[in-house]
């Protein structure tokens, strides 16, 4: 018996190294977002579905990899978010955190990720600071940012005569970044900012703020908010006769889920910028159909699409590096390899972590123009990839200056 | 132009009016809570969810049955009150004699479950609901544009609040109710069915929440979390007014709406916290609330 035991031990020692090479590369992804509150339809469970689809399409077994996905609700609170991130990295051995809407939470998670040398694939968060002054060698910002939104919607509206602006701003990192970036675009194009008001996140009544906006006589009321806040602003704006009085809303960040919640009757004519729309082409439609198998009756946002594509590119990079352990090495690989996926097409991950791809200026259809559920947007303009995102020289990202040296 | 603290007076009037409108929702909801607490001794955390159910019921009736706002305004409160009565019969009646905490945790749990079910079925971003045709548009008051619907909200909720106060404080039925909270055994001895009265009272409180929900549907986003966004503020209103005080709930509801409205002009960043600051101050000075009776 003892002989058999030591024989087995000897064999293990002998062939142990060989067996190790056969072991698959384990990757654990954590989808961290708002599962239950105002941003849950933008990201939430829809992002988890997209993540699962990415893993399925990557086919880990073919690359000798094993990928696992977990998810959690950060309740839009930075402290909750960074606590979960720490626990995921330290206890649950998560290699990459994905999505994370709510910029304040994303900024906190970016710091934790950098400290632990893991990877942060940002899709839901918007603040352009994530690739600007607060950029990190461990982050990749996939889908959109506040600079891009401002550049798309802001520029288009100023150029068509909307030259005086009043901002209704969500009072946290994202709202402030969006207001700052839009104001810069407006003034650069000859427009003027006549006022702004900071509104606490998740506010339900906007009539006070709408009244202030009305009294400012600005031609454009810029909504530097998102999700439920945007919905309530526009819905109540219609009631207070904002559009009837000749003023217009600029929804600086509007998702298809918001348009669905408003109804086309209220939302029609709204101009918005997005990097992905489910009904743009056959590939997107086919992808949406698969997604809808898990989320019947709903439509994927650009955030869900970004989660899908960023995971796909990340897994390719892990396969190329051969391990997910060193987060910075994986992100470097992601920057080295050009991006190419079914949803966002060809592009690249820049040194600051921004992923470049085209952006689209859409207008919300009227009820008469909409032929089927989800037929909500019509394309007004395409902004090419090299113009859609902030030029590297304006980034103030330490990584950019370091790379230049 | 006359200015008050650097704000043109006409702008201030507008904000005061808007504060009153928001206050009317606070008043309606805190009234229901006060009635339930006063009569049942239950801290009804399901109130927000019941308000949300009212709004969703209005949406569902329009979407699937083609019944408009006015029909919903009449039917929905009874419908949701019926679900409330089921909750009372199934759960609340068994814990009435226990510590307040039990009721609080039970109703809070129920609220989470109801909200979760709605979120699962309808998503978190909500559903569209239009202002009824009769009340669309608005009038220019000179100092502000007042949507007709908001004028209706404020008038109707004042009527409902007054009627409720009158029914409880000034009618025979109300006196039975108040007597039953003081001494149920004695009231039963007079041949009055106290448990049934309590059940109906809970149903009434819930119906008030549902009514507020229907009224909110055309102006707020009809979403599963619309109730939980509001309920914490409403609890603060009830605490400031004095738990269980009907008149206190109504007056503080309107007053805090106005204070919050003014905060939105002078220091908008604090508008979500001002009510809690006031609550803390009131609790320090008058622990039983402004209109509460000290025990």
In a domain, residue A173? The reply is: yes
Kindly state whether residues A184 and A226 are assigned to the same domain: yes
Residues A219, A186 share a domain? yes
Mean pLDDT estimate for chain A: 91
Decide if A395 is inside a domain: no
Distance in angstroms (rounded) separating the CA atoms of residues B251 and B238: 10
Structural domain boundaries enclosing A105 = 25-144+280-357
- Of A357, A378, A397, which residue constitutes the final position of a domain? A357
A67-82 pLDDT, tens digit each: 999 999 999 999 999 9
Same domain for A44 and A137? yes
Note the pLDDT tens digit of each residue in A269-322.
Answer: 899 999 999 999 999 999 999 999 999 989 999 999 999 999 999 999 999 999
> Given CB atoms, is A270 within the 8 Å cutoff of chain B?
no
Q: Are residues A52 and A139 in the same domain?
A: yes
Three-state DSSP string of A103-156 = HHHHHHHHHHHHHCCCEEEECCCCCHHHHCCCCCCCEEECCCCHHHHHHHHHHH
Is residue A225 located within the same domain as residue A168?
A: yes
Residue A363 and residue A353 share a domain = no
CATH code where residue A312 lies: 3.40.50.2300
A174 lies in some domain: yes
Strand partners, A33: A73
Q: Which residue of A has its CA nearest to B225?
A: A37
Can you tell me the mean pLDDT for A360-370? 94
| Residue A12 falls inside a structural domain | no
Contact status, residue B254 vs residue B160, Cβ threshold 8 Å: no
Q: Are residues A98 and A88 in the same domain?
A: yes
The overall average pLDDT reported for chain B is 89
| Same domain? A267 vs A163 | yes
Nearest to B124 among A38, A263, A266 (CB): A38
Pick the more confident residue, B293 or B104.
B104
Same domain assignment for residues A294 and A229? no
Question: Given this model, what pLDDT does residue B74 score?
Answer: 95
- The answer, for A387 touching chain B at a CB cutoff of 8 Å, is no
* Chain B CB contacts of A209 below 8 Å: 264, 268
- Summarised one tens digit per residue, pLDDT across range A102-146 is 999 999 999 999 999 999 999 999 999 999 999 999 999 999 999
Query: Quick check: B89 contacting A, CB < 8 Å?
Result: no
> With an 8 Å Cβ cutoff, is B294 touching chain A?
no
B22 touching A, CB under 8 A?
yes
pLDDT tens across B70-126, in order?
999 999 999 999 999 999 999 998 888 888 889 999 999 999 999 999 998 888 888
Among the partner residues B128, B145, B225, nearest to A240 by beta-carbon distance: B145
In-domain check, residue A188: yes
Q: Are residues A41 and A137 in the same domain?
A: yes
- B148 to chain A, any CB pair closer than 8 A? The answer is no
Query: What pairs with residue B8 in β-bridges?
Result: B3
- Asked whether this complex has an ipTM greater than 0.90, the answer is no
Cα distance between residue A98 and residue A245, in whole Å: 43
Residue B177 has a pLDDT of: 86
Is A288 found in the same domain as A218?
Answer: no
For the entire predicted model, the pTM comes to 0.85
Contact B125 A202 (CB under 8 A): no
For residue A19, being part of any structural domain is answered with: no
Pairing mode, strands A164-170 and A220-224 = parallel
DSSP one-letter string for A293-316: HHSTT----HHHHHHHHHHHHHHH
Q: Is the pLDDT of residue B162 over 50?
A: yes
Residue A20 located in a structural domain: no
- Closest-CA residue in chain B for A40? B124
Q: Per-residue pLDDT for A17 more than 80?
A: no
How many structural domains is chain A composed of? Answer: 2
**A394 inside domain:** no
Which residues are CB-contacts of B136 (< 8 A; sequence separation ≥ 6)? B148, B149
Do A153 and A44 sit in the same domain of this protein?
no
């Amino acid at each position: 018996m003892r002989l058999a035991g030591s024989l087995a031990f000897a064999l293990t020692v002998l062939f142990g190294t060989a067996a190790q090479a056969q072991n698959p590369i384990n990757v654990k992804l954590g989808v961290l977002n708002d599962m239950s509150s105002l941003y849950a339809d933008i990201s939430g469970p829809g992002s988890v579905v997209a993540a699962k689809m990415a893993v399925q399409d990557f086919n880990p077994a073919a690359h000798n990899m094993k990928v696992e996905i977990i998810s959690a609700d950060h309740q839009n609170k930075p402290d909750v978010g960074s606590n979960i991130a720490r626990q995921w990295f330290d206890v649950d051995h998560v290699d990459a955190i994905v999505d994370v809407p709510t910029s304040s939470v994303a900024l906190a998670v970016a710091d934790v990720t950098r400290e632990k040398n893991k990877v942060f694939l940002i899709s839901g968060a918007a603040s352009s600071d994530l690739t600007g002054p607060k950029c990190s060698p461990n982050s990749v910002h996939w889908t959109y940012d506040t600079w891009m939104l401002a550049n798309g919607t802001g520029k288009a509206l100023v150029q068509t005569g909307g030259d005086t602006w009043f901002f209704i701003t969500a009072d946290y990192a994202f709202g402030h970044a969006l207001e700052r970036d839009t104001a810069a675009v407006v003034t650069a194009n000859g427009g003027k900012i006549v006022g702004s008001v900071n509104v606490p996140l998740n506010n339900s009544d906007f009539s006070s703020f709408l009244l202030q906006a009305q009294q400012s006589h600005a031609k454009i009321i810029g909504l530097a908010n998102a999700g439920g806040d945007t919905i309530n602003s526009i819905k109540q704006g219609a009631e207070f006769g904002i559009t009837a009085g000749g003023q217009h809303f600029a929804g600086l960040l509007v998702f298809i889920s918001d348009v669905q919640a408003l109804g086309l009757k209220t939302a029609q004519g709204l101009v918005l910028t997005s990097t992905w729309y489910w009904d743009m082409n056959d590939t997107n439609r086919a992808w949406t159909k698969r997604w809808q198998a898990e989320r019947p009756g709903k439509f994927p946002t650009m955030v869900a699409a970004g989660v899908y594509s960023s995971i796909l590119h990340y897994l390719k990079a892990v396969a190329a590096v051969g391990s997910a352990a060193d987060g910075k090495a994986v992100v470097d690989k992601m920057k080295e390899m050009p991006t190419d996926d079914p949803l966002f097409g060809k592009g690249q991950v820049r040194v600051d972590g921004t992923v470049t791809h085209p952006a689209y200026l859409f207008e919300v259809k009227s009820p008469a123009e909409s032929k089927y559920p989800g037929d909500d947007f019509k394309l007004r303009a395409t902004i090419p990839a090299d113009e859609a995102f902030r030029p590297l020289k304006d980034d103030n990202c330490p990584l950019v200056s370091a790379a230049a040296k | 132009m006359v200015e008050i603290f650097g704000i043109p007076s006409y702008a201030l009037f507008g904000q005061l009016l808007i504060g009153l409108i928001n206050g009317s929702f606070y008043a309606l909801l805190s009234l229901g809570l006060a009635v339930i607490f006063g009569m049942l001794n239950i801290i009804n955390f399901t109130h927000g969810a019941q308000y949300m159910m009212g709004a969703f019921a209005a949406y569902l009736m329009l979407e699937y049955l083609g019944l408009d706002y006015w029909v919903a305004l009449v039917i929905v409160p009874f419908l949701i009150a019926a679900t409330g009565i089921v909750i009372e019969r199934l759960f609340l009646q068994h814990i009435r004699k226990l510590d307040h905490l039990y009721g609080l945790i039970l109703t809070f749990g129920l609220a989470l479950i109801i909200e979760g079910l709605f979120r699962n079925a309808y998503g978190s971003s909500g559903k569209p609901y239009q202002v009824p045709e009769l009340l669309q548009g608005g009038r220019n008051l000179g100092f502000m544009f007042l949507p007709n619907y908001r004028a209706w909200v404020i008038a109707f909720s004042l009527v409902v609040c007054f009627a409720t106060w009158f029914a409880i404080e000034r009618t025979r039925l109300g006196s039975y109710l108040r007597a039953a909270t003081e001494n149920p055994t004695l009231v039963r001895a007079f041949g009055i069915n106290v448990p049934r009265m309590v059940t109906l009272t809970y149903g009434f409180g819930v119906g008030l929440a549902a009514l507020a929900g229907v009224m909110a549907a055309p102006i707020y986003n009809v979403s599963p979390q619309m109730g939980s966004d509001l309920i914490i503020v409403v609890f603060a209103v009830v605490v400031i007014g004095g738990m269980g005080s009907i008149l206190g709930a109504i007056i503080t509801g309107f007053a805090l709406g106005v204070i919050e409205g003014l905060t939105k002009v002078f220091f908008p960043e604090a508008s979500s916290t001002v009510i809690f600051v006031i609550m803390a101050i009131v609790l320090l000075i008058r622990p039983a609330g402004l209109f509460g009776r000290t025990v």
